[in-house]
Amino acid sequence: MKKLLTFVLALMMIFSMTACTKPNGGDEVKTYKVGVAIYRYNDNFMTLYREEIKNYFKSLETDKVKYELSFVDGKDSMDEQSNQIDTFIAQKMDVIILNLVQTSSAEVLIDKIVAADIPLVLINREPLGDDGDESYEGILNNPKVCYVGADARQSGTYQGEIVLALEDKGDINGDGVVNYIMIMGDVENVDAQYRTEYSIKALVDAGVKVNCLYQDTAIWDQTKGQELVANALAQFGDQIEVVFCNNDGMALGAAQALRDAGRTVGVDVYLLGVDALDECQEMVKEGTMTGTVLNDHIGQSHTAVDVAIKLLNGEAIENYYWVDYVKVDKAYFN
Ligand code: GAL
């Protein structure tokens, strides 16, 4: 009887071993669950970023390591995103990649995720600390939390420098003042705040006189951007010399409004964006846009994925990872 029992047990062991090993005798396949929460799918830049997260994760899969990716659309609603994070926690994700809807609500979400002991990679929307202290405590104090992004000040400065490199430095009518309009992204976002501030700072620091005719938010959106620029053109017409847009989506809308008003970029107006969407790179090449700034979604998404994998492997990480912007004007293509 004892012998029979030993035999049955041995059989069971062999069976359970073969059940979890591959037929070729390899080790067990490990599948990691990755939750990716995006602030809003309907965003040109974040769509490219999101696609690249997916492609890059897939390219890193091996026979033994798989990534089960769950992407969710926050639809620009903090409540929606908060529920999505609760679901990720309930699903016991191995790591979460989070593009916040609202950086001012970062603490609540980070606390939940940290309490569930799930490593977290924040992307694209940087939460800032209090009192002008730019390092956010919720990131600094947590060894399994980090932020991957680009320094928005750099993108603003590059926009300004593109204008400074023009022969007339943006002063098309030669009256000694650059009259501009500023089409902003979501003002809750440091990207919108810094791009607005640093593009103009670059001009002022170089001794150029500036005058803001119009400034409003088009929340990163092309259609809204077109509307605002059409409004500004109706109000200020030929006075407008430079149109600064915090991103290319809005610059595409601006380009349409300028065409509708019979204006010609490079001749009687200048147009600047950020992101370097393919379409905008073409426009810069052909001169229908003055310049843009490459927001490196490839570099950022790959860094985010690489660091997520480090976290999955239990490796130590930095709290901040920065990816450079690149100035894109006509000279970039020579
Ligand atoms: C910026 C990007 C914008 C928009 C925004 C969303 O970095 O330039 O186009 O995607 O992020 O937060």
CATH of the domain at 236: 3.40.50.2300
User: 117 alpha carbon to ligand 1 midpoint, in Å?
Assistant: 29
pLDDT of residue 24: 47
Alpha carbon distance, N-terminus to C-terminus of the chain: 85
Residue 262 clears pLDDT 60, i.e. is over it: yes
Q: Are residues 234 and 265 in the same domain?
A: yes
Ligand 1 atom 10, closest CA: 45
- Mean pLDDT value of segment 193-210: 98
43 lines ligand 1 (CB under 6 A): yes
How far apart are the C-alpha atoms of 18 and 220, rounded to whole Å?
A: 54
CA of 220 to the centre of ligand 1 (A): 7
264, part of any domain: yes
Looking at residue 132, its pLDDT comes to 57
Instruction: Spell out where 157-291 has E strands.
Output: 178-184, 210-217, 242-245, 270-272
Whether 15 has a pLDDT exceeding 60, the answer reads no
pLDDT at 10 exceeding the cut of 80:
no
Ligand 1 mutation pick, 42, 44, 45, max ligand atoms within 8 A of CB: 45
Instruction: Give the burial class of 149: count Cβ atoms within 10 A of its Cβ; 0-12 exposed, 13-18 middle, 19 or more buried.
Output: buried
> Would 131 be classed as within a structural domain?
yes
Whether residues 158 and 135 share a domain: the answer is no
Closest atom, ligand 1, to C-alpha of 43? 10
Does the beta carbon of 125 sit less than 6 angstroms from any atom of ligand 1?
yes
Q: Is 253 in the pocket of ligand 1 (CB under 6 A)?
A: no
Ligand 1 pocket mutation, candidates 48, 198, 244, 247, criterion most atoms within 8 A of CB: 247
Question: Could you give the dihedral angle defined by the CA atoms of residues 252, 258, 260 and 261, in that order, rounded to the nearest 10 degrees?
Answer: 170
In tens, the pLDDT along 175-194 reads 999 999 999 999 999 999 99
Distances in Å between the Cα of 65 and the Cα atoms of 25, 27, 32, 89, 317 are 15, 10, 8, 22, 21
The answer to whether position 6 is within a domain reads no
Atom of ligand 1 nearest to the CA of 274: 8
Does 295 sit in the ligand 1 pocket, CB within 6 Å? yes
Whether residue 164 sits in one domain with residue 289: yes
C-beta 292 within 6 A of ligand 1 = no
What pLDDT shows up at residue 334?
A: 87
State the Cα–Cα distance between residues 323 and 150, nearest whole angstrom.
5
Cβ contacts of residue 142 below 8 Å, gap of 6+?
A: 110, 114, 120, 319
Which pLDDT score is estimated for 275?
A: 98
Q: Are strands 30-38 and 65-73 parallel, antiparallel or unpaired?
A: parallel
Query: 295, 301, 324, 326: which to mutate for ligand 1, most atoms within 8 A of CB?
Result: 295
Mark whether 270 and 157 lie in a shared domain.
yes
**Closest C-alpha to ligand 1, atom 1:** 191
124 CB less than 6 Å from ligand 1?
A: yes
Instruction: Please check whether residues 159 and 289 belong to one and the same domain.
Output: yes
Is 193 in the same domain as 83? no
Distance (Å) of CA 198 to CA 30, 124, 203:
46, 18, 9
Longest distance between any two alpha carbons in the chain, whole Å: 105
| Position 255 confidence tier, pLDDT thresholds 50, 70, 90 | very high
Q: Is residue 329 part of a domain?
A: no
- 287 and 318 in a single domain? The answer is no
pLDDT above 80 for 23:
no
Q: Does one domain contain both 165 and 285?
A: yes
pLDDT tens, residue by residue, 286-315? 999 999 999 999 999 999 999 999 999 999
Task: Please indicate, yes or no, if residue 190 is contained in any of the structural domains.
Answer: yes
Provide CB contacts within 8 A for 65, sequence distance 6+: 29, 30, 31, 32
Does the structure show a pLDDT above 50 at 14? no
Residues 209 and 117 in one domain: no
Span from the CA of 204 to the centroid of ligand 1 (angstroms): 25
Q: Is the pLDDT of residue 18 over 50?
A: no
Region 208-215: mean pLDDT is 98
Residue 296 Cβ < 6 Å to ligand 1: no
**pLDDT the model gives residue 19:** 43
Whether the CB-CB separation of 265 and 288 falls below 8 Å is answered with yes
Is any ligand 1 atom within 6 A of the Cβ of residue 155?
Answer: no
d(CA 192, CA 45): 14
Question: How do residues 224-251 score in pLDDT, each as one tens digit?
Answer: 999 999 999 999 999 999 999 999 999 9
Q: Is 218 helix (H, G, I), strand (E, B) or coil?
A: coil
**Dist CA 14 CA 283 (whole Å):** 65
What distance in Å separates the CA atoms of residue 323 and residue 7, rounded to the nearest whole number?
60
Q: Residue 124 pLDDT > 50, yes or no?
A: yes
Residue 133's pLDDT band (boundaries 50, 70, 90)? Answer: low
Same domain for 146 and 175?
Answer: no
Give a yes or no: residue 250 inside a domain.
yes
- Residue 128 pLDDT greater than 90, yes or no: no
Phi-psi region of 33 (alpha: psi -120 to 50; beta: other; left: phi over 0): beta
Same domain, 244 and 161: yes
Report the C-alpha gap between 329 and 162 in whole angstroms. 7
What is the residue type of 276?
Answer: A
Per-residue confidence at 26, pLDDT binned at 50, 70, 90? low
Average pLDDT over residues 141-156: 96
**Residue 140: its pLDDT value, please?**
87
CB 245 within 8 A of CB 291: no
Is residue 249 in contact with ligand 1, taking CB distance under 6 Å?
yes
Q: Is the pLDDT of residue 135 over 80?
A: no
What residues pair up with 327 in beta bridges, in sequence order? Answer: 293
Count of domains forming the chain = 2
**Residue 134 and residue 238 share a domain:** no
Percentage, residues of the chain above pLDDT 90: 87
Q: Is residue 8 domain-resident?
A: no
Q: Is the CB of 221 under 6 A from ligand 1?
A: no
Partners of 152 in the β-ladder: none
Averaged pLDDT score across all residues of the chain: 93
Is 99 inside any structural domain? Answer: yes
> The domain containing residue 189 runs over which residues?
153-294
- Span from the CA of 125 to the centroid of ligand 1 (angstroms): 8
